[in-house]
Structure 1
Amino acid sequence: MSRLKFLLALCAFTTAATVCAQTATIKGIVFNEAQQPLDAVAISWDAEGTQTDENGYYLITIPANREIKISFSHIGYKQSSTRFKLQPGEIIEFNPVLKTMVEQMADVVVTSATLDQQEGIISLAPETVRKIPGANPGVENLLQALPGVSSNNELSTQYAVRGGNYDENLIYINDVEVYRPFLIRSGQQEGLSIVNPDLVRNIDFSAGGFQAKYGDKLSSVLDITYRRPVNFTASADLSLLGASLSTEGISNNKKFTALVGARYWDNSLLVDAKQTQTNYQPRFTDLQTYLTYTFNPKFSMDFLGTIAINNYNYEPQTRQTNFGTLADPVALLVVYDGQEQDRYETYFGAVTGTYKPNTHLNLKFTASAYHTQEQEHYDIHARYALGTPSTNIGSTDAGEVDFTRAIGSQLTHARNDLDALIVNLQHKGQYIKNEHQLDWGLKYAHESIRDRLQEYEIIDSAGFSVRPPLETFTNQQPYEAFDAPLTPFTSRRAQNTVNIDRLMGYLQYSRRLNWSTAKAWYNIGVRSQAWTVSGLGIASNTQQVFSPRGQFSIKPNWKSDMLFRLAAGVYHQPPFYRELRNAQGQVLPEVEAQRSLHLVLGNDWSFDMWGRPFTLTSEAYFKSLDHVNTYTLENVRIRYRAANDAEAYAYGLDVRLAGEFVPGTESWISLGLLKTEENIQDRGYIARPTDQRFKMAFLFQDYVPRIPDMKLYLKMVYQTGLPGGSPNYADPYFYQTRLPFYFRSDVGFLYDIINAERGASTNSFIKELSTGIEIFNIFDRRNSITNTFVRDAASRQQYAVPNYLTPRVFNVRLRARF
């Protein structure tokens, strides 16, 4: 009996080996004409079929020793067919490019709607991200040119979307949620973005009304996909602000790929141009890698890793800020002692296994960990005075101060340290068959935070210690003796050890269908999260929320290419650690999730103008919020009240016209209207800190007609002022002023020395080489981020002194690809 089993097993093994020997393998990535990978491309041969994954990747097994015709088809693209005849066991790579299917009807270009348009997602070209100039270049720099996205600080990578704050935005890299540092107070401390633009393959952005598969935030989703290499390539980007290097490759058997990027950033060129004279040593570095290994056609694994080490050493010396009017000019002069030493180290890693048992089912399992160690230490003593600057424009001493009057001094101190470890285990699944799609997911997260908050501020005005403004205090000198103790103007001390456990899940269903002569698509889903807050000296508290969401889009069979979208849903944001901690540093575990009802109505109109394609995208939105956790905004630091004591609303209109204003390039104009207000403890509605009423942005790419290798890249943003001109201790119901409007224009000129499009020598080591100059803030607009409030004891007057951002700065840049 044992011999029979052995013979049968041997026979089965021999048969399987023979079958395998009579097949061959084809793999690769399907691209569109913009060299962007296409997902859901149907691949068929004989009676078999499959489709590409979300990265455009495919792997198929075909019979060997005979000619096989393989067809690639996708809605909106022309079908492509290729014949193969391979040897047994042979493995080849084939990367087809599908061309757009365009039908010309009465001077109107009609194309099929893409899935991104149906879902209300904006897709951005990675190459545009890499070339558009900015004081802090990257994906966020390009997002600031979109309607509904606002940022009044060019040194910061943080942004607000449709009335939300910086903590309300989701960021994914390869389906893994990533995080930002906790203790950042100023944009100049942030350094590099978590997203390395040199590694990016695809950029999707949703400003609201997104699906249940995305996480629990109130405002937006930025979904980044790093590319899977198909050959060896290296690139370098050098400038006066830093350097970026990347390399990628694939093994000979096509199973292993590696993508590595390293960056170094030093923004002292920008900060040294500001009005504060400093000894400034910022050192921002990071290393990122994306590795993939394909074991067989059904199973693969990948690893995403990041190490970032940021050092920020700041030693201010002097400052002179002229403000006021020509009729009543005022100057603030400050002399500093002390320094600030900050350090941020973050380590992030994620391992993902992908299993595809058949062409319909895709299963993902991911384990990730994020560890950050942050230090914010400073002791800075500032002695300040007010004076009158010279307004004689023709003289050599214009703007200089001859006489000052003593005002006082200010001492700020901090010893803030934070150590956080976040561990995630998640599963995502997707089943697609015909016009039906089912998505589901389950995730467990454990967050462990150890935090020490110790900071105070002491203010002296003309020899008198200024007491905190929020206390009820009356000074009756000289009629009554002053016997109250001296106290700091502000003081915060706390030590917290907090653990948060979260269990999250979602389920959603999508379907495409024909509705009479129109094409329609809809998505319905629900998301839920339960979390428990505990820790040293903290009473454990558990809460749970449910978030139903839905989307619907329809493309009528009209002469004009029009698509309409409707999205609605309930969005919850369970509190993260910073939202649990109030202004005094105390952690309140009973803080509830903020809730927002989204309603978004959108339209995409694609048409032909000047013989070139254009798309006009319009979205009207309304958000009703309750259980709002109100906050104050200081530069980029958010301080929460840790109390769900307000309700709020936001509504507006976003419009973007994108297309080829110049043949062969993409540019756009965007407009945004917004109004957002909050009602705190039923005291009435007032503007929220992110009430950016009007925005206009312009992104333009051009080239010199007689010198086509000389390219122009221009980004211009105008935004009305935010309600950030008041002291953070002031009652917003009695003291609420706005900052001046924000206007900035950055321009870059790039000359292609070696251009891949016109063809480089096959023997040349350098495939592309370009050099150019960038001018930041070309009009030298003095934008302000906050105000410093100075008290004059003699006149009992309080001055709001603007803290200006970066002036006009020149930068030189060199880019190469090998």
Structure 2
Amino acid sequence: MAQNARVKGVVLDENKVPIANVAISSETNSTRSNSNGFYELPIPAQKKTTIVFSHLAFKSVSAIISLQPNAIFEFNPILNTRIEQMGEVIVSSKNKNRIQGITSITPEILRKTPGANAGVENVLKTLAGVNSNNELSSQYAVRGGNYDENLVYVNEVEVYRPFLIRSGQQEGLSFINSDLVQNIDFSAGGFQAKYGDKLSSVLDITYRKPTAFGANFEASFLGGSLSVDAVSRNKKWSAVTGVRYRNNSLLVNSQETQTNFTPSFVDVQTNINYQASAKWQWSFLGTISRNNYEYQPLTRQTNFGTLDQPMALLVFYEGREKNSYGTYFGAIKTTFKPIETFSLKLISSLYHTVEQEHFDILAQYRLGEVDNNVASENYGKVSYSRGIGSQLNHARNNLDALIATIELKGFHDWKKSQLDWGVKYTRESIRDRVVEWEVIDSLSFSIPPPTILPQRDEPNTIYSGPLVPYQNVRATNFNTINRFSGFAQWNSKSNLGSAKLWYNAGLRFQHWEVAGTNALGNSQFVWSPRAQIAIQPNWEKDMLFRLSGGLYYQPPFYRELRDADGIVQTNVKAQQSVHLVVANDYNFKMWNRPFKLVSELYYKSMSDVNTYTIDNVRIRYAANNLAKAYAQGLDFRLNGEFVPGTESWFSFGYLKTEENSENRGYIARPTDQLLKFGILFQDYMPTIPSMKVYLNLVYNTGLPGGSPSYADPYQYQNRLRDYRRADVGFSKVLIDNYSNSKKKNWLGNFKELAIGAEIFNLFNNQNAITNTWVRDVYSKNQYAIPNYMTTRVFNIKLSAKL
């Protein structure tokens, strides 16, 4: 019997409203659309098939479709009373993303998945191999790498994050505006040479090109967003523009620290496209963002310890923190395609950030035992103080960075092969001043830095030496970095017996030089060969096997050049990693619905490693390349239509990553996330399909990081508690593509309208991001008090589309 393919989609009327009970037929099969307008029809593969859509109230629509074996094609026909549609669609089964090991995510999932920091990164954190223990942050770690090892592209332009962010609640908005997104591709390792010089992952975002006027609006207790699609009459100009505002007060006020919190996170983005001719296109991507963060802590009480010996930390604060992050970004891209098989792209961009981090916060604390006698009038209160002290933190940090790039890329296509190449120049000019110090007092004794020897022994021995801050970082850095990079890669396909074979081979290079305030760094050069091979046997089961890897380098960015004392080391070398990824991609049917199981086994061997510590989301590097490391693991992801017409997935990841600094032995790296489970699930009520439910659940085992940031990691290998979080969203759709009739009142102006409720941290789990270390001079003990993240929070959301 000949192999089949499938056509599925939603049948719509003129107003983009789904139509139920539409008869869909081909020469061999027939079906009807359900109450939501959804249909699915198997058709013979490798054969032109005429599909007819008919309904008594509408004109019929027919289309000629030709698909390769096992291909799935989404076709959403529009039935109306004036015209009939005729067309021919030929779709190849060559799935580029499947061959390259790239995970694709639909934009609709971004907007529906609940999360304290909703968006692209919120969905990525449910994937195997992607880890984050901070729901307030958009940053993520991939397969043992840190936050600085991930590439992010928007419309082929690399984008950057603010430099001075130290906690997730300061981030505000991700650069990526989910309302503007059309395609989302993500690779967790073994990626091709056309992507840049990072060690861990690639997130490739494409903003959409509008074809008609439209508008989207969303508002909730956390803020709001508005996006507008516009198209000129001659269709040569199109633009999509988005405005966002976010306020994290709802989330921050659920934490244990009582604060006066006045954040303001605002940004405007636009993507403008101009079709100059059939061969020449222009586009502009621009964004302006302004994040103002004002934080005035008041009090805090954290209970910890055991049932037999409960303890509490009471803190009373004075002072405040005032930070601002202004980002201005613009990129122009032009594409020239004289013939179908050849194209050139010229891309230039300018990124400017002005950041300020100023704070003076005095924390006076009491560390005591809690009265656990239920019959006592003081139950739950501190009955005996074991430690009294204070801590003063001061910072006056300022940074101004200007990053300019220009890149030329080419693409050549032959019958079974393609050649991609590109050259790029980047100039990074950064002016940075760091002034921050910390003074700690315990029982009226000033605590000296842990690095000063001999150690002091108050109150037993009187100390008469000078008083110095516990931590003190002061530096001024004016640096310029010039980078030249490029790549060339070749793609081809062939047959190996009855099996299909795809292969890719490429080479990247980068040359850079750091000019510092006091020194000129050495000129450095690296080259990075990479390769992929994929084979699809001619089996009854639809399986694809993939092997990828290569030699990957990460030349240091500015943060990696700055050591723990804030001084830029101009001769820091590129970190090196050898990647090997073996994967299996299996498409199958269950309950007569499509499913996919992706399994990946990976190993990374790293040298010239630049070790670091993480405090919340702030990374501080040693800037010395004195370590080696490895990362190994196994990722699984099962996704499919667990509920008809929706996509959900379950993921599992195992990871082990360790480092060996100066041959002292292997210890866990700060991102050693042993186990990870993630679930993204969508459902709707069968009797009320307009009532929908979305579940986002993540479980991660504890990370290293339960030690002070100044400590020797070889002496502290404590771990934080496991991270457990479930966010759930409920949505009542008033009008959308699944409505059966057009409203006759004012609601008829909307194409989509929905109201929903979200519950963040559904089970109210206490997740800790770091520990606060309280020192008691008298007992010579240090107590690790967890810094808990957000508790259970309720949110209301309204969304509309015109």
TM-score (norm 2): 0.89
Q: 1:771 aligns with which of 755, 769, 787?
A: 755
Q: Which moved more, 1:507-516 or 1:807-816?
A: 507-516
Cα RMSD after superposing both structures = 2.3
How many residue pairs get matched? 735
Q: Distance in 2 between matches of 1:32 and 1:442?
A: 41
Matched, 1:544 2:525: yes
Residue by residue over 1:171-220, the C-alpha shift from the partner in whole angstroms, topping out at 9 and shown as x without a partner, is: 00000000000000000000101100000000000000000000000000
Between the aligned partners of 2:450 and 2:736, the Cα distance in structure 1 is 63
Q: Which residue number in structure 2 is paired with residue 449 of structure 1?
A: 430
Contact conserved, 2:513 with 2:524, CA < 8 A, in 1? yes
Gaps of 5+ in 2: 1-6, 12-61, 78-84
Shift in Å at residue 480 of structure 1?
7.3
Q: Deviations over 1:643-663 (max 9, x none)?
A: 110000000000001011111
Partners in 1 of 2:87 and 2:436 — Cα distance? 59
Change (3 A) 1:202 1:145: same
- Give 3-state SS (helix, strand or coil) of 1:147's partner: coil
Look up the match of 1:670.
651
Q: Which residue, 229, 235, 240 being the options, matches 1:254? A: 235
Cα deviation, 1:760-779, whole Å, max 9, x if unaligned, reads 53882111100010000000
**1:283 to 2:264 alignment:** yes
Render the CA deviation track for 1:287-346: whole Å, top value 9, x for unaligned.
000000011100010000011100000000000000011111000000000000000000
Provide the rounded CA distance (Å) in 2 between the counterparts of 1:628 and 1:339: 37
Q: Deviations over 1:136-190 (max 9, x none)?
A: 0000000000000000000000000000000000000000000000000000000
| Paired residues for 1:18-167 under 5 Å | 33=9, 76=71, 112=93, 114-167=95-148
8 Å CA contact retained: 2:64, 2:88: no
Displacement after TM superposition at 1:474 (Å): 3.6
Residue 708 (structure 1) shift: 0.9
1:756 deviates by 1.8
Q: Give yes or no for contact 1:229–1:250 (8 Å, CA) kept in 2.
A: yes
The equivalent residue for 1:220 is: 201
CA distance in 1, matches of 2:107, 2:517: 45
- Percent of matched pairs sharing the same residue: 56
Are 2:208 and 1:235 equivalent residues in the alignment?
Answer: no
Amino acid at match of 2:107: P
Q: For 1:208-238, what per-residue CA distance to the aligned partner results, in whole angstroms no more than 9, with x for missing partners? A: 0000000000000000000000101101111
Which secondary structure does the structure 2 equivalent of 1:677 belong to?
strand
- TM-superposition CA deviations, 1:511-538 (whole Å, max 9, x none): 1212211111100000000001003222
Relative to structure 1, the CA distance from residue 439 to residue 99 in structure 2 (aligned partners, 3 Å threshold; closer, same or farther) is closer
User: For 1:579, what is the secondary structure of its paired residue?
Assistant: helix
SS in 1 for 2:464: coil
* Structure 1 partner of 2:788: 804
The 3 A distance-change label for structure 1 pair 34 and 554 is farther
Question: Separation in 2 of the partners of 1:507 and 1:395?
Answer: 75
Distance 1:131 1:726 in 2: 37
**Secondary structure class of the residue paired with 2:690:** strand
**Which segment is superposed worse, 382-391 or 668-677?**
382-391
* Shift of residue 70, structure 1, vs aligned partner: 12
**8 Å CA contact retained: 1:145, 1:699:** yes
- What letter matches 2:321 in structure 1? E
CA offset digits 1:229-272 (Å, max 9, x no partner): 01011011110000010000211101000100000000110000
SS of equivalent to 1:135: coil
Q: Structure 1 residue 583 and structure 2 residue 567: aligned?
A: no
CA distance in structure 2 between the partners assigned to 1:379 and 1:207 by the alignment: 40
- 1:390 Cα shift? 3.4
Query: Which of 774, 779, 791 is matched with 2:775 structurally?
Result: 791
Cα separation, partners in 2 of 1:761 and 1:478, compared to 1, 3 Å? closer
- Supply the AA of the counterpart residue of 1:468: P
Letter in 1 for 2:360: D
The one-letter code matched in structure 2 to 1:148 is G
Counterpart-to-counterpart distance in 2, 1:411 and 1:426 = 47
Aligned amino acid, residue 486 of structure 2:
G
603-612 or 177-186, larger mean C-alpha shift:
603-612
d(CA) in 2 for partners of 1:239, 1:186: 23
Aligned-partner Cα distance in 1 for 2:749–2:391: 58
- In structure 2, which of residues 695, 706, 710 is the aligned counterpart of residue 729 of structure 1? 710
Instruction: Give the aligned residue type for 1:576.
Output: F
The secondary structure found in structure 1 opposite 2:623 is: strand
Aligned to 1:752: 733
Letter in 1 for 2:786: P
Q: Secondary structure at the match of 2:772?
A: strand
Contact 1:33–1:97 (Cα < 8 Å) also in 2? no
Taking the aligned partners of 1:425 and 1:373, their CA distance within structure 2 comes to 22
Tell me by how many angstroms 1:33 deviates. Answer: 4.7
Residue 561 of structure 1 corresponds to: 542
- Residue 42 of structure 1 corresponds to none
Work out which of the residue numbers 683, 705, 722 in structure 2 matches 1:702: 683
* 1:169–1:219 contact (8 Å) kept in structure 2: yes
**Aligned partner (choices 144, 150, 155) of residue 174 of structure 1:** 155
Query: Which residue is equivalent to 2:345?
Result: 364
Alpha-carbon distance, 1:796 to partner: 2.1
Distance 1:336 1:476, change over 3 A: closer
Is the contact made by 2:67 and 2:91 (CA closer than 8 Å) also made in structure 1?
Answer: no
8 Å CA contact 1:232–1:248 kept in 2: the answer is: yes
2:320 is the counterpart of 1:336: no
Corresponding residue SS for 1:428: strand
1:15 aligns with none
Measure the CA separation in 2 of the matches of 1:480 and 1:403: 26
* Partners of 1:113 and 1:229 in 2: CA distance: 26
- The 2-side partners of 1:402 and 1:621 are apart by 53
Q: Spell out the pairing of 1:614-693 with structure 2 (5 A cutoff).
A: 614-693=595-674
* Partner amino acid, structure 1, of 2:143: R
Instruction: Work out the CA distance in 1 between the residues paired with 2:741 and 2:445.
Output: 72
CA distance in 2, matches of 1:545, 1:337: 50
Conserved? CA contact 2:707–2:718, under 8 Å: yes
Check conservation: 1:78, 1:98, Cα contact below 8 A.
no
Q: 1:700 to 1:394 in 2, by over 3 A?
A: farther
CA contact (8 A) 1:216 1:571 kept: yes
User: SS of 1:565's equivalent?
Assistant: strand
1:353 partnered with 2:337:
no
The match for 1:611 among 592, 596, 602 is 592
Q: 1:183 aligns with which of 160, 164, 170?
A: 164
> Any idea what SS the aligned residue of 1:539 has?
coil
Q: State the distance in 1 between where 2:422 and 2:278 align.
A: 23
Match of 1:592 in 2: 573
**Which structure 2 residues correspond to residues 178-577 of structure 1 after superposition, within 5 A?**
178-392=159-373, 398-475=379-456, 482-577=463-558
CA–CA separation in structure 2 for the residues paired with 1:617 and 1:305: 36
Q: Name which of structure 1's ranges 586-595 and 475-484 shifts more when overlaid on structure 2.
A: 475-484
For residues 393 and 201 of structure 1, the distance between their equivalents in structure 2, rounded to whole angstroms, comes to: 58
CA distance 1:253–1:396, shift in 2 (3 Å): farther
Tell me how far apart the structure 1 counterparts of residues 105 and 460 of structure 2 sit (CA, whole Å): 69
C-alpha deviation, 1:442, in angstroms: 0.6
SS at structure 1 position matched to 2:413: strand
In the alignment, what sits opposite 2:81? none
Could you list the per-position Cα deviations for residues 356-378 of structure 1 after superposition, in whole angstroms to 9, with x for gaps in the alignment?
00000111101100000000000
Instruction: Describe the superposition over 1:784-803 as per-residue Cα deviations: whole angstroms up to 9, x where unpaired.
Output: 00000001223222100000
Aligned-partner Cα distance in 2 for 1:95–1:735: 69
1:32 Cα deviation (Å)?
Answer: 8.9
Contact 2:280–2:337 (CA<8 Å) still a contact in 1?
Answer: yes
Cα distance between partner residues in 2 of 1:164 and 1:95: 51
- The aligned counterpart of 2:58 is none
Amino acid across the alignment from 1:744:
R
